[in-house]
Structure formats: structure tokens, C-alpha cells
Amino acid sequence: MLKSHACGALRADHADQEVTLAGWVHRRRDQGGLIFLDLRDRQGIAQLVIDEEQTPDVHLKAKDVRNEWVVQVRGIVRQRPEGMINPNLPTGEVEVEVNQIEILNAAKTPPFYINREEENLDEALRMRYRYLDLRRERMQRNIILRHEVVRYIRSFLSARDFIEIETPFLFKTTPEGARDYLVPSRVHPGRFYALPQSPQQLKQLLMVAGFERYFQIVRCFRDEDQRGDRQPEFTQLDLEMSFVDREDVLDLIEGLMTGIVEDVTDRELVYKPFPRLSLHEALERYGSDKPDLRYDLVAIDVSEIAGRSGFSVFTTNVEQGKPVKAIRVPGPGGWSNSQIKKFHKELEDLTKSVGAKGLAYMAVPEEEDGEVRGPIGKFFPTELKLELFEAVGVQPGDFLVFTSDTREIVYAVVDTLRRHLAVELDLIDPKKVAFVWIINFPLFEWNEDEARWDPSHHLFTAPMREDLALLESEPGKVRGQQYDLACNGYEVAGGSIRIHQRDVQERIFSLIGLEVEDAKQKFGHMLEAFEYGTPPHGGIAPGLDRLVMILAGEPNIREVIAFPKTQQAADLMAGAPSPVLPEQLEELHIALTALDEAPESSA
């Protein structure tokens, strides 16, 4: 080893020991005859002192040293003199009197600061020099947190008899779900592998194989457009269990998530145990299938009351079966008319962006005898107003917003408003983590375009036993044994109990319009496997990137992935994707169709 101690590990009890350190120069403070160097390694920072009078040769070398140079030093750890202790540094009680220095590697001046946080650093620049970006404290912290989470998962599951098993990346395309990344086969001209969107089929086959409890921390690939919480390749904790029902899976994951939050982070769980909402409840109250329950803004259905008002938008909508929902915003009753108008305008513009035509409001007075402000107040007689306020749980000075439209738009409006208001009204405690289970999903969704039922989760999700009889008669009413885990407004896991009986599977296939021959073509290996003694089984797949993002308090998953891709799915550091040689294409039996413009050759 080129060092005896980690820079960040030095403490007062190392005083007077001789140590050898190696790392990067974090910062230098040259005072002429006395040079201070902050030496950084993964564990932290130690202050080096170089004194011209004591060690002229070291001083001479140290004069040339710049930030990010890699150096090795030998010296004596000293308790810092009185009044020179740096309480902001874990190593701040000591410093190292250097008596030998070796420059292991000089460094160019980095294109951005390694030794400080820059607020709006251009992401393209960070990506191009990702190895430097990753040197920064924030990124080191995130990546190390990610490791701690993964380590916790492995030990938690191993202790509960789970076996980690790898599954292939070169697998088979399935037309369902997301767009596949395809890999051409050289030895099978004209055929392609697909990178798995998840190891769904394989993990079920591992249950058929009798492993009973499987997990894998595995990369998944989906060729869809990116978002802050979506990358073309992302990591799941994939797991599957045999001889379990839903409760077993939920219990396990609840224990795992609780353990991660409490043992690995300094964050606080809002709910223990995790609350459970049906999908319907989640949508009706929060407008989202992944509601953020760190704050309790709730949409209240006031359709019945609003339908009796004189406001024609409401009455017409209610007649057509469209809901009217109200959200109570605590507080701004004391505002001036212009403040209220501005506040309302902002919210209304926001909701228009998700398809709303308008946003009605009432400002509730602070005094008992005050007047309700807002244009729709006059359409509600006093009696009805009181009924409304009762239903919504109004407090004096509240601001009520009302949205009414198709159910889908109302949900979108409620979701958008909740997210916006939470930030606006500062309702979010960044230390808090709020998990919530979403259950009772419909098994199928009606596909308007294709005029058929589509599986809302995937083909192998088992129906609720008590709904089995409805499968042919009322498919829309059949609920699946499916569950999602939401956290702080993100979906962090999804899973289900699977079908393990061939006849049920075939009924599903026929319902979604999959011919037996088709099904055999696409899933023959699965159907065949299921005939050889399949245990009842189910599983779940938490998204590791999103989970770590939330725990790290980061706004997107790129901050917790060492080498992420841009929104255009590019790697700016390596320059991927890149053109390939004609010979490579030829070997793969691939001819390119004419492109509008020839792709630039990789520089």
C-alpha cells in the first residue's frame, strides 16, 4: 500500500505517529514559507503542513503542487496548536507535518470545481467529465449510499434464505410492454436477441425450478423516452418467492424498506406500518397512483353538493357523471384580492397545462360574518355553502379550489396541484420518507385503439380469487393480485402474485385476444414449464435507482448512477451510441436504410 492511513481517518489519538498518506490535493494555501495542503481521499480530508525552515526540500516540491495532483506524503501527525482546530473537519484536531513528499501524478486544471458545490453546473459538462464529477463529495456520498443500500439488501435477503441468481441479458423479445433494445445475432442471420425489460419470465422459471426464493440486483433495459426518474438502463432489485400470498411479499418488502431507511440512512419513516390504498382511493383522494403522503393535501369529492349549486359548469358536469373535487388550501384568507387573484391565476395556468379548462375557487373569510370571495360564491346559497364547508372541513381563512372535468383530467389536476402546493406552501420535510402500498388494481385496461382488453400489469398476474368468475363476463371488474409501492411521489416497486395454473393462463390469453398459436410462439417455454409442477408464486421488483435517489435527497436518478445517459440516451463521455464499421454490420447481416444525414464519425 502506498499509504498507512486514510486521510479522513486521522484523529487526535494518532498524534505523534508517523503516517504515510496518499490522495488528491483538495486545496492549497501557500503562505510563502508555510504551505498548507488539504489532502483528500475517499474517507475525507487531512491538512498537511509544510514548513520551509524545517524541510526546505519538501517545501520546494510542494510549491509546484496544484489542485487535484496526486501526491504521497510521509509525516508526523500533530495535535494542532491551541486555537487552530478546525471544527468543520472531522480531522480538524490534527495535521500532518510533512517530511517527505512525492508527486505521483500531476493534473490538468479540471474543467469545473471538484472542491466546492456549483449550483447550476452544466450537466453536459459533468457528463463529459463524469470521472471528475464523481470525484466531488456529493457524488461520492451518493454512490457510497447506493453501495450501502445494496449491501443491506443482500444481507437482509440472504438471511431470509433468498438465493441470488443471475439471468441472461441476451434474451428474447416480447411485443408486450416497452420497446425492446435489440441485439443482432451474428450466427443466426436476421435474428435478434432482446435485452430484458426485466427478468420477469426467468424469475418465474426459477420458481418452477424449485429455488423458492430468488433475488437479483439486475440491470433492466427499456427503449423509451427518458425522464428524471427513467434511464434506458436501470437497476431493479428483482425478487420472487414460492408458496406465498400477497401478504408475505408485502411483509418482506416492508421489513426491507424499513430496515434500509432506519439502519442505512438518517431519514425518518412517516408511516409504520405502511398504509395501504386501493388504486381507486389513491386516485380519488390524491389523483395519483403514486401519491406523495408526506403531506396531507386531499381532494374531496363534492360532486353531490356542487350539483345542487347554481354554477352551470358543475351542474352540467355532474349530470354527465363527471366529478367535482375540492382541495382545501390552508391559510391565505387574509390576503388581498389581488394576491388571491395572482395565486389563483398561477394555479389555474398550471392545471390548464394538464388539460383543465379552468379552476374555480372560493376564499373563505377569516371572520364568522365575512363574505366568501371568488366568482362562484354567488352560485352557492348560504345553506349549501355551509354544507360544502362542512364536507371539506374548512377552517377560517382557507382557500378552496375546485376542479371538474372527466375523471382523468380531474385526477391529473389534483395530482399537479398537490405537488405544486406542497412546494409552494413548504409542506415537505426533506428528512421524511413516506411509503404507501397501492393495491387492488384492475387486471385489465380497455384499449380503445385496438378495441380489446390489455393486461394492466403483465400477462402473468393472477386475478383475485374471488373475481375469477367475472373473467369472461365482466373483465373490467376483475382485480389483479398486484401491488405497487409508492414513496414520496414516486413508484418504487411493483409486483404481483402470478398465475400458476395453465387453465387460468389460457383464459387470460384468450381474453386479451392472444391466439393459442401466438401465445405458444411468444411464451411457449413458459406455458410448457407451467405444466411440470409450478408452485404458487409471486414477487416484486423495487427500482434501486429511484429508491436511492429518494434516500439521497436527489432530484433525479442520474445523481445516483455512476455513468448515466442523457435524455437523448447518449453517453457524452464515451460518445455512445457511435457509428460502427461497415464490416461489423456486414458480419451481423445488417444493411442500414438511408439516413437523412450521415451520422458523424466518432471523433
Binding site for RNA (CB under 7 A): 27, 29-34, 36, 38, 47, 49, 51-53, 66-67, 80-81, 84-86, 88-89, 92, 95, 109, 111-113, 116, 118-125, 127, 176-179, 197-198, 200, 222, 224-228, 230, 353-354, 454-459, 556, 558, 566-568, 570, 572
Grid coordinates in use for 299?
Answer: 381532494
CA distance 2 to 20: 7
Spatial CA neighbour of 293 closest among 546, 423, 488: 488
Closer Cβ to RNA, 171 or 379, answer by number: 171
Q: Rounding to the nearest 10 degrees, give the CA dihedral for residues 575, 579, 581, 587.
A: 110
Give the shortest CB-335-to-RNA separation in angstroms: 27
Give residue 191's identity as a one-letter amino acid code.
R
Contacts of 63 by beta carbon, 8 Å cutoff, 6+ apart = 30, 35
Q: Rounding to the nearest 10 degrees, give the CA dihedral for residues 177, 492, 231, 186.
A: -50
Closer Cβ to RNA, 325 or 558, answer by number: 558
Closer Cβ to RNA, 148 or 445, answer by number: 445
CA distance 116 to 355: 42
Give the shortest CB-440-to-RNA separation in angstroms: 15
Helices 279-286 and 407-424 cross at an angle (nearest 10°) of 60
Q: Report strand pairing: 44-51 vs 94-105.
A: parallel
Give the shortest CB-318-to-RNA separation in angstroms: 25
Closer Cβ to RNA, 143 or 570, answer by number: 570
DSSP reduced 3-state for 169: coil
CA distance 364 to 334: 9
HEC string for 565-602: CCCCCCECCCCECCCCCHHHHHHCCCCCCCCCCCCCCC
Give the shortest CB-30-to-RNA separation in angstroms: 5
Q: Report strand pairing: 482-487 vs 490-497.
A: antiparallel
Closer Cβ to RNA, 2 or 182, answer by number: 182
CA distance 39 to 24: 6
Cα atoms in the Cβ-side hemisphere of radius 13 Å centred on 137 = 11
| Residue listed under C-alpha cell 494555501 | 29
Give the shortest CB-194-to-RNA separation in angstroms: 12
Closer Cβ to RNA, 15 or 89, answer by number: 89
Closer Cβ to RNA, 6 or 34, answer by number: 34
Cβ atoms 376, 302 nearer than 8 A: no
Give the shortest CB-73-to-RNA separation in angstroms: 15
Where helices occur in 15-166 by DSSP H, the ranges are: 56-62, 123-128, 130-133, 137-158
Closer Cβ to RNA, 91 or 309, answer by number: 91
Give the shortest CB-215-to-RNA separation in angstroms: 16
Give the shortest CB-301-to-RNA separation in angstroms: 22
The separation between the first and the last C-alpha atoms of the chain, rounded to the nearest angstrom, is 38
| Residue listed under C-alpha cell 420477469 | 200
Cβ atoms 223, 195 nearer than 8 A: no
Give the shortest CB-198-to-RNA separation in angstroms: 5
Beta bridge pairs of residue 315: none
Give the shortest CB-555-to-RNA separation in angstroms: 7
The three-point CA angle 480-461-250 to 5° equals 70
Give the shortest CB-438-to-RNA separation in angstroms: 14
CA distance 510 to 512: 6
What are the C-alpha distances in Å from 3 to residues 102, 106, 199?
Answer: 12, 18, 43
Closer Cβ to RNA, 121 or 527, answer by number: 121
Closer Cβ to RNA, 332 or 355, answer by number: 355
Give the shortest CB-51-to-RNA separation in angstroms: 5
Closer Cβ to RNA, 427 or 569, answer by number: 569
Closer Cβ to RNA, 111 or 377, answer by number: 111
